[in-house]
Structure 1
Amino acid sequence: MKIEKRKLTYFINGTKFIDLDCLGYAVQQKLFNSSSYQYLLKSHKKKGDKANLISLKVFQEILRKHSKKQPCWCLSGLNFIDCHFNKEKKVKMTHNEIYNLMKSNFSYRGCLHKNVSNCSDLIIKAHSISKKGSLEYISVDQHVYGMKFDFNGFNFSKIGIRNASTFTGFCKKHDEILFSSFEKNDFQKTSKQLFDLSYRAICIEYHSMQSIVNLLTLLKKNIDNSLDTQTQISRQIGINSQIFFYELGIKYSNYYKEKMEILYKNASHEDLLEHYIFELSDGYPKFQSSSCFNPNFDLDGNILQNLDDPHTRSKNLFVNCLTFNNRGYLILSWFYENHDFGEKIINSIINDPEKIEDKLFTLIFLYVHNTFASPKWYEELTDDQVEKIKLLQDFWIETDNFNSNMICSNFDSIKVEQHYLFRKNPTD
């Protein structure tokens, strides 16, 4: 979802002005405190000014007279006196300080299955992609390539498989029980195994979005230290729009997650989902992935859903590209209630048989950051090929206007042997 960008400040004859209409729009989008805005508007009118523009100097004077015990305009939940009252005088944090703060504090920690049955006390680093089998299959010297948080943000780097794909989203008890259908048994493509894989995928995405909200909330406290008022407002509105986006994603993911959890509570696994399975040739894939996301375009560039409308529930696609017993599978899943959505995605992939592998590769590297690649495969890529992969991985940062020209060669990373719509096994 995108928040419309509007101009906050203007320079007129050497004087900087704040546009109150722009702030009013931010209030409508729940990105700026309503009471603070009403106070600014009322004080502005008392001065006899009718125009929507107010000089930055006057704006700052009015804002500082607002009750310091009122909630801060930035929506932090703190009082103005404890938040932005003298923010421009606070010491700016160094990049290293911000990095250390984010690294140690942003990750969500809690069992995502706690509302279904009692947890054990211990929250563990669970593998979102199985270490045994899947990660080991593509590893070299117990290492793979994957997204890693460092000083410059998230980058594709070499990671030991002991730490690759781990997340603090389950207690020890639930991690061992929930996924035993495919972790401790041969993969037979049963309805329950596919259901459990999809549930893990949506929990991965839920955990990721909650962690990002935690990260953004941390940044809110320190991102504008020592900066002037106008820059503070711009930064806070920007970060509030991101928090709003991810909290909306959490809300809609939780809708699907809770529907799946009802079946766990009832000890029933009748299928809520449809699955399309791509069985891969020996030696493939060269990467492993698992996640859940809400694409707004199919692989031909046709619009699937409008993610800019916060009042319409987004539709999720589950993706699992994994290896079981030395056999690779790429499985796309969606809820039956979103049948047309899933059908359009599949048709856009299989309508050109010569491009199936390229489209699957593009889909994963565009949307699934929980992806880990074989060092042998990745290190043999040319610089140009690595750059093309990076462009896909950075797609969600730079733009969200997908078109079919973005379909990228799969660089011999995936080879489909057969593909079909899953039909529920009557013995499940």
Structure 2
Amino acid sequence: MKIGRNMKCWCDSGKKYKHCHYGRDSEKSITKGEAITHSNKIAQRKCCYVPDALKEECSKKIINAHTISKSGSLIAIADSTNHVLGLKINLSNLFKSEGKLVLEKIGVNQASTFKGFCSHHDKSLFSCVEDQPFANEEDQCFALMYRSVAKELYAKEGSVISSELLKQGDKGKQPIEQFFIQKFAANNQLGVQTAIDELSEFKSKLDEQLQGHTTNEMCHLILESSAPIPVVVSSIVAPITDFNGNLIQDLGDLSVVPEYLVFNSFSSDGKGYAVLSWLKGESIAQGFIETLLVSAKEELFTKLVRFFYGVAENTFTSPAWWDSLSEPQKKKVENLIMSGVNPFEFEVESLLIDDGIRFTGWEVENITKINF
């Protein structure tokens, strides 16, 4: 197909063809170094994710905020050198591992941090979980929720910026390759932007409660043990299937308004906790929780392991616990980590189903339900 030089480019950039894709096949391809530099800049973005009405209180200092407590959780599972196992998801590492996500040692100072709150709001919003023992209080569960949602928004907004670099990845390619790269980038950007819009709507409900405009709008399930939990996490997901393998939300349909589940696992005052939270009245999230709870207490940790590694990247592992696993158990975790990376090999229905591989090292002793 021939396109006039002054016509709008076929890639929908809004630019004239002569200023966009004309001669793109002869341009120099983006180097790995350029891509890595761009990726590192995205990770250094600074902002404070409080609602606009509270931004006048912001301090000038944006900090590296931990989404999982360093003192209570990460140090509790770290090795003698203060390292835990986690995923270093950046372009440099992905190039090195040829796209495979692998657990690596990460210092507790660097694990689970993002530049998403100023020093004032990081202290005022999260001191109830950072400076006090966890006591199953609603304000503590809410703080955990709020931080997880802010972290996910930060990551998604970074993905939108990354997609702009992806669009430049067709330099030096033939026209047919340019077409497929641009199509992939556009679809990716649409999906990420949709997720940002949905997460922003979810966060707006949390903002309302944060500012005291609403109360008791959240449900929480708290699983507790007298021992620290060896796998800690802070994340949010719109679950696609439940623990029985039933499809509960079709996220491929962008007209579907997803129901989200926020989940955190951590240690506090020598005890271990898993807290799962969702908006009150959302039946899909509630039904998902019910398929978790049908099991005996001694089976809950195995279910949590499948869930945490299968859907969350912001997960960190005790090196001692990892070393205690058998090869089949390690292989299971590695497969869970890679789930969804290759859509042609991913069977979503089987992600959370019991396959006979059990995990020990933490046992739920008490279950607390709030607002449901």
Fold conserved between structures, TM > 0.5: yes
Displacement after TM superposition at 1:108 (Å): 4.4
1:180-222 Cα offsets, whole Å, 9 max, x none, are: 111122221111111111111111111111122222222222x
- The whole-number CA distance in structure 2 between the counterparts of 1:331 and 1:397 is 26
The 1:162/1:345 distance shift into structure 2, 3 A limit, reads same
- Higher RCO structure (Cα 8 Å, ≥6 apart): 2
1:67 corresponds to which letter in structure 2?
N
CA contact (8 A) 1:96 1:151 kept: no
CA distance in structure 2 between the partners assigned to 1:371 and 1:220 by the alignment: 30
Who is 1:9 aligned against? none
Q: Structure 1 pair 142/84, CA: closer, same or farther in 2 (3 Å)? A: same
Q: CA deviation at 1:406?
A: 6.1
TM-score (norm 2): 0.89
Map of 1:131 onto structure 2: 70
Aligned with residue 247 of structure 2, among 293, 303, 309: 303
Q: Partner letter of residue 118 of structure 2?
A: C
Uncovered stretches (5+) of structure 1, i.e. residues with no partner: 1-58
Could you say which structure has the larger radius of gyration?
Answer: 1
1:387 Cα deviation from its structure 2 partner: 2.5
Task: Choose the corresponding residue for 1:258, options 204, 224, 228.
Answer: 204
Task: Compute the displacement of 1:316 (Å).
Answer: 0.4
Query: Given that residues 106 and 214 in structure 1 are in contact (C-alpha distance below 8 angstroms), is that contact kept between their aligned partners in structure 2?
Result: no
Q: CA deviation at 1:106?
A: 5.1
Q: Helix, strand or coil for the counterpart of 1:91?
A: coil
How much has 1:98 moved relative to structure 2? 2.2
RMSD over equivalenced CA pairs, Å: 2.2
Asked whether the equivalents of residues 264 and 275 of structure 2 are also in contact (C-alpha less than 8 Å), the reply is yes
Q: Are the aligned partners of 2:156 and 2:196 in contact in 1 as well (CA < 8 Å)? A: yes
What code does the residue aligned with 2:75 have? Answer: E
1:212 aligned partner, one-letter code: S
Against the structure 1 CA distance between its residues 352 and 82, is the aligned structure 2 distance closer, same or farther, given a 3 Å change threshold?
same
2:170 counterpart of 1:224: yes
**Closer, same or farther: CA 174–67 of 1 in aligned 2, 3 Å:** same
For 1:279, the equivalent position in structure 2 comes to 224
Question: Which moved further from structure 2: 407-416 or 205-214?
Answer: 407-416
Question: What secondary structure sits across from 2:171 in the alignment?
Answer: coil
* Unaligned segments of structure 2, at least 5 residues: none
Alignment pair present for 1:189 and 2:132 = no
Once the two structures are superposed, the pairs formed by residues 237-256 of structure 1 within 5 Å of their partners are: 237-256=183-202
Task: Indicate the residue corresponding to 2:34 in structure 1.
Answer: 97
Does the 8 A contact of 1:349 with 1:355 survive in 2?
no
Question: Structure 1 length normalisation: TM-score?
Answer: 0.78
Is the Cα contact below 8 Å between 1:102 and 1:215 reproduced in 2? yes
Task: Tell me what 1:88 maps to.
Answer: 25
- What is the distance in 1 between the residues matched to 2:187 and 2:331? 30
| Distance change (3 Å), C-alpha of 1:330 and 1:410 | farther
SS of the equivalent of 2:316 reads strand
CA contact (8 A) 2:25 2:173 kept: yes
Match of 2:325 in 1: 381
Q: What is the distance in 2 between the residues matched to 1:77 and 1:202? A: 33
Offset at 1:382? 4.1
Cα distance in 1 for residues equivalent to 2:327 and 2:158: 32
